[in-house]
Amino acid sequence: MKLLIDGEWGEAATSAVFATHDPATGEKITDVARGTAEDVNRALAAARRAFDEGPWAKTAGRQRSRTRRHF
């Protein structure tokens, strides 16, 4: 199974998964990769790098407060 870390899909450290269920029906939707401490550390390192080296760190607080992302 894959995890999205640093903007790219990559294999999780292990093949462990857990089921995701629809909360309204209880029906299983899919299996999701179960991240390990190693996966979390990779994700944290990527987030730190993105913050330190990306445009967000250089953006003034006033401008950050005006920035909204809608998904």
Taking only the tens of pLDDT, the chain with its 71 residues reads 999 999 999 999 999 999 999 999 999 999 999 999 999 999 999 999 998 998 888 888 888 888 776 55
Whether residue 48 lies inside any domain: the answer is yes
pLDDT at 69: 66
* Whole-prediction pTM: 0.70
d(CA 52, CA 16): 32
What is the number of structural domains in the chain?
1
Whether residue 7 lies inside any domain: the answer is yes
Block residue for tokens 């809608």: 70
pLDDT at 58: 84
Whether residue 45 lies inside any domain: the answer is yes
Q: Are 1 and 15 in contact (CB under 8 A)?
A: yes
**Could you list the residue range(s) of the whole structural domain that residue 45 is in?**
2-56
pLDDT at 62: 86
Whether residue 10 lies inside any domain: the answer is yes
Whether residue 49 lies inside any domain: the answer is yes
